[in-house]
A and B are shown apart, each in its own frame.
Chain A
Amino acid sequence: MKVRSNQPTRRHALITGVMSVAVLALTACGGGAAESPSAGSSSAAPNLAEGGATTLTMWVDAERAPALEEITRSFKEDTGIEVKLAVKDFAAVRDDFITQVPTGKGPDLIVGPHDWLGTFVQNGVVAPVELGDKASEFQESAVQAMTYDGNVYGVPYALENIALLRNTDLVPEAAATFDEVIANGEAAVAAGDATYPFLVGMDPKQGDPYHLYPLQTSMGVPVFGQNEDGSYNADELLLGEPNGVEFAKKLVEWGDTGSKVINSNITGDIAKEKFNAGESPYFLTGPWNVPDAQAAGLNLAVDKLPTVGDQDAQPFIGVNGFFISSKSANALAANEFAVNYLSTEAAQDAMYDVGGRPPALKASFDKAASDPIVAAFGEIGANGVPMPALPEMQAVWADWGGTELALIKGSGDPAAAWTTMVSNIEAKIAEQ
């Protein structure tokens, strides 16, 4: 769920907005105050007798805090280092971190999604993390997502991606293509079992390119080109691929003025409620909506993402992990905690138990995959691509979402709208 943090939805943005607005400015005073935490503090005659009184500060949101308590306790027992968990609003973490690190008052560690990385690196607030041989114990896509400019910057702990939820009482069989999905859905509606053939939440102001991305990739229109090592190339905007216009036409076809398979008036909340009430056989969403659907008594299946074109329907993968401040005065202790404790099976199990997101550590994932829902999401995620962490994404989300939403509403010529969007995004990236 945090994956999309670069694309502010309104409420998010309000806060991110208002706060974040606040967030960036610290350097002027900050520099002076905290210039030299790492400059040789005591090299001549180190007082070796002292030590062990170190305290680490970690920003964490209220949801994850309980999961980390156990592991911080055992860390303290082993090393004497206390990890202070400071609970912060999730929405404020990224921007406050960027603002506060330069002052030296920032935390040593934070928890967050990988797509914050681009901005963090741009602002010089995170330090690389060397996973060493442990890297191979994590799922490859998780480590890849944590890699930026050739360096690994975080210890991953969970992955998430969307899938197609199906109410098996309404449609018993899985479908492979989106056309079949629509057909099944419309059959269910025609039979009077359902009201909506298909559901996906749309932000009323920004649409939802994140959820629609698999449909788009299946038509061969990824957002950016990828380098050989899997990293994204900001100079290679692929939204302008010829099939992009085809996708735009499809959006109009599915939208408010067409078959209404995708309805711009259905927000994430409404979609969830309708699906849980059994009013639709399909819901394109992530694992975060599964527990409530199960609680509502639905018989669920997790289907592969349906394709529109002839290519794979690749979802975005969001990876959550731990980052270390580039100005941490306790970098060694922070590394010890992140690399040698948070990467353990026990820690990753605990995070899974509390957060319910599939673990990034293979051993923990295998355990979690005994739950067929987790296994199914994981299988679909194996086919996904990390959400781009490039700072350029901020420019992309707004135009991309706005244009898709306009198309779904049926306003404008699809070819012209899509082409304008591509040239707008290109112009913004070039401005930089």
Chain B
Amino acid sequence: MTTFTDPQAVAPAETRAGGSGRVPEQRKRTFGQWFRHKGWRHVVGVVTTLFAVFPLLYVLSAALNSNGTMAGSNVLFSRFDTGNFEALFSNPSRPFGRWFMNTMIIGVVTSAATVFLGALAAYAFSRMRFKGRRVSLLSLLILQMFPQLLAVVAIFLLLNAITDVVPWLGLGSQLGLIMVYLGGALGVNTYLMYGFFNTVPKSLDEAARIDGASHVQVFFTIILPLVTPILAVVGLLAFIGLSSEFVIASVVLTDPDSQTLAVGLYSYVAQQRSENWGVFAAGAVLAAVPVMALFLFLQKYITTGLVSGSVKG
């Protein structure tokens, strides 16, 4: 992953001349050129960001207003205090800190396992030819289309049965919940990776095999490093999905100490007419922090791209 430059980005700067650049490091350009190349991207960025963020500002505003309701006011940030955040951390029967840790553990373990299981399957689909390959791929996708309206009942029954045999994997167990989540590890994720794996030239593995590498070594040492962007994307998608999932989690986890953020926070608003939106909003804001942190951390992997040298290999 050495430095790599986007020809699109560099070429115009090198080939075009003249103009008093608005951007210091690209002096040679006119504003028009700068705009055609980069400026419009900023316009798009700002507009889309506004679209994405303005409803969330509402939530943030509610989080910072300790006598707040959710929908009442159009004046954002009319009050500014941290009462809701204090309330969030001062309730022993609603251990927010524990919820946070639980979510992190369940989220990280599950998304890591999801990425691994998905990558294994994608490797098989991408690199091996076997009977029923296309049918299996199709089935993976189609299985995930079943309306989940009834899933929780069946999952409860299943875990109930598991509890009778292996209590630490059944109801009330975080490990049990992780297993349930892993049921969805293939499907779309495998597809996403499969498409990406296909772009890694076969010649690479063939060369390695000639050199005596086993299929396992090829997988771990050649393929996986080349597909980090998609691994990062799948991991992030899985983590985001898990961190806001509460329907299954609330059936599986009953002890407040073992619950996840989504389940715990939901209890703040589950009670009709005594919802505590302010505290909920504060919790939701904090809950978004790990997702942002993870995205920041993964961003460099997502956008690293393939090293041209390897691709040509």
A and B touch in the complex (CB under 8 A): yes
Q: Which residues of A contact B (CB under 8 A)?
A: 1-2, 4-5, 9, 11-12, 15, 18-19, 21-26, 28-30, 33, 61-63, 65-66, 86-92, 96, 99-100, 103, 105, 267-270, 272-274, 276, 286, 288-289, 292, 295-296
Name the residue of chain A whose CB is nearest to the CB of B247.
A18
Q: Tell me if A292 and B67 are in contact (CB < 8 A).
A: yes
Q: Which chain B residues border A2 with CB–CB below 8 Å?
A: 271-272
Q: Which chain B residues border A9 with CB–CB below 8 Å?
A: 272
Contact for B93 among A4, A65, A105, CB less than 8 A: A65
Q: Tell me if B157 and A26 are in contact (CB < 8 A).
A: yes
> Is residue B135 within 8 Å, beta carbon to beta carbon, of the partner chain?
no
Shortest C-beta distance, B104 to chain A (Å), equals 21
5 residue pairs from A and B, CB less than 8 Å apart: A15-B270, A18-B152, A19-B251, A87-B254, A89-B266
Q: Tell me if A62 and B269 are in contact (CB < 8 A).
A: no
User: When A and B form their complex, what is the total count of cross-chain residue pairs whose Cβ atoms lie within 8 Å?
Assistant: 126
Complexed CA–CA distance, A87 and B69 (Å): 25
Contact residues, B69-99 vs A (CB, 8 A):
69-73, 91, 93-94
Evaluate whether A5 and B71 lie within 8 angstroms (CB atoms) in the complex, with A30-B157, A89-B266, A103-B157 already known: no
Name the residue of chain B whose CB is nearest to the CB of A100.
B156
Evaluate whether A286 and B273 lie within 8 angstroms (CB atoms) in the complex, with A19-B250, A21-B150, A23-B152 already known: yes
Shortest C-beta distance, A196 to chain B (Å), equals 13
Q: Tell me if B251 and A105 are in contact (CB < 8 A).
A: no
Q: Which chain A residues border B156 with CB–CB below 8 Å?
A: 22, 26, 99-100
Complexed CA–CA distance, A419 and B274 (Å): 34
Q: Tell me if A29 and B271 are in contact (CB < 8 A).
A: no
Q: Give the size range of B's interface with the partner.
A: 35 or more
Contact for A272 among B72, B250, B263, B269, CB less than 8 A: B72
Contact for B251 among A66, A96, A276, A288, CB less than 8 A: A96
Q: Tell me if A25 and B154 are in contact (CB < 8 A).
A: yes
Further contacts, 4 of them, CB under 8 A, given A86-B254, A90-B270, A269-B277: A21-B152, A22-B153, A33-B161, A99-B153
Q: Tell me if B93 and A89 are in contact (CB < 8 A).
A: no
Q: Tell me if A63 and B274 are in contact (CB < 8 A).
A: yes
Shortest C-beta distance, B147 to chain A (Å), equals 10
Evaluate whether A273 and B73 lie within 8 angstroms (CB atoms) in the complex, with A29-B161, A30-B160, A103-B157 already known: yes
Evaluate whether A28 and B157 lie within 8 angstroms (CB atoms) in the complex, with A21-B150, A22-B152, A89-B267 already known: yes
Complexed CA–CA distance, A272 and B71 (Å): 10
Shortest C-beta distance, A310 to chain B (Å), equals 30
Complexed CA–CA distance, A9 and B274 (Å): 14
> Is residue B151 within 8 Å, beta carbon to beta carbon, of the partner chain?
yes
> Is residue B64 within 8 Å, beta carbon to beta carbon, of the partner chain?
no
Q: Tell me if B153 and A15 are in contact (CB < 8 A).
A: no
Name the residue of chain A whose CB is nearest to the CB of B158.
A29
Name the residue of chain A whose CB is nearest to the CB of B91.
A62
Contact residues of A: prevailing secondary structure: helix
Q: Tell me if A268 and B273 are in contact (CB < 8 A).
A: yes
Evaluate whether A87 and B93 lie within 8 angstroms (CB atoms) in the complex, with A21-B149, A22-B153 already known: yes
Complexed CA–CA distance, A100 and B164 (Å): 15
Q: Tell me if B160 and A105 are in contact (CB < 8 A).
A: yes
Q: Which residues of B contact A (CB under 8 A)?
A: 67, 69-73, 91, 93-94, 149-157, 160-161, 163-164, 171, 247, 250-251, 254-256, 263, 266-274, 277
Complexed CA–CA distance, A30 and B267 (Å): 27
Shortest C-beta distance, B97 to chain A (Å), equals 15
Shortest C-beta distance, B261 to chain A (Å), equals 13
Evaluate whether A92 and B270 lie within 8 angstroms (CB atoms) in the complex, with A65-B93, A66-B93 already known: yes
Q: Tell me if B67 and A22 are in contact (CB < 8 A).
A: no
Q: Tell me if B150 and A22 are in contact (CB < 8 A).
A: yes
Name the residue of chain B whose CB is nearest to the CB of A84.
B255
Q: Tell me if B67 and A61 are in contact (CB < 8 A).
A: no
Q: Which chain A residues border B269 with CB–CB below 8 Å?
A: 11
Q: Tell me if A33 and B69 are in contact (CB < 8 A).
A: no
Evaluate whether A272 and B274 lie within 8 angstroms (CB atoms) in the complex, with A19-B250, A23-B153, A89-B267 already known: no
Complexed CA–CA distance, A60 and B70 (Å): 26
Q: Which chain B residues border A286 with CB–CB below 8 Å?
A: 273
Q: Tell me if B271 and A90 are in contact (CB < 8 A).
A: yes
Q: Tell me if B154 and A33 are in contact (CB < 8 A).
A: no
Name the residue of chain A whose CB is nearest to the CB of B171.
A105
Shortest C-beta distance, A103 to chain B (Å), equals 6
Shortest C-beta distance, B10 to chain A (Å), equals 50
Give the most central of B67, B71, B94: most A CB within 10 Å: B71
Shortest C-beta distance, B237 to chain A (Å), equals 21
List 6 tightest A-B contacts by C-beta distance, closest first: A22-B152, A273-B72, A1-B273, A25-B153, A269-B69, A91-B270
Q: Tell me if A89 and B250 are in contact (CB < 8 A).
A: yes
Evaluate whether A88 and B72 lie within 8 angstroms (CB atoms) in the complex, with A18-B247, A29-B161, A61-B267 already known: no
Complexed CA–CA distance, A24 and B94 (Å): 27
Shortest C-beta distance, B178 to chain A (Å), equals 19
Evaluate whether A15 and B266 lie within 8 angstroms (CB atoms) in the complex, with A26-B153, A62-B93, A89-B250 already known: yes
Complexed CA–CA distance, A273 and B73 (Å): 8
Give the most central of B71, B150, B152: most A CB within 10 Å: B152
Complexed CA–CA distance, A286 and B152 (Å): 34
Q: Tell me if A86 and B152 are in contact (CB < 8 A).
A: no
Q: Tell me if A29 and B274 are in contact (CB < 8 A).
A: no
Q: Which chain A residues border B91 with CB–CB below 8 Å?
A: 62
Evaluate whether A270 and B270 lie within 8 angstroms (CB atoms) in the complex, with A21-B152, A25-B153, A30-B157 already known: no
Shortest C-beta distance, A344 to chain B (Å), equals 22
Q: Tell me if A273 and B272 are in contact (CB < 8 A).
A: no
Shortest C-beta distance, B95 to chain A (Å), equals 10
Complexed CA–CA distance, A100 and B271 (Å): 21
Shortest C-beta distance, A158 to chain B (Å), equals 13
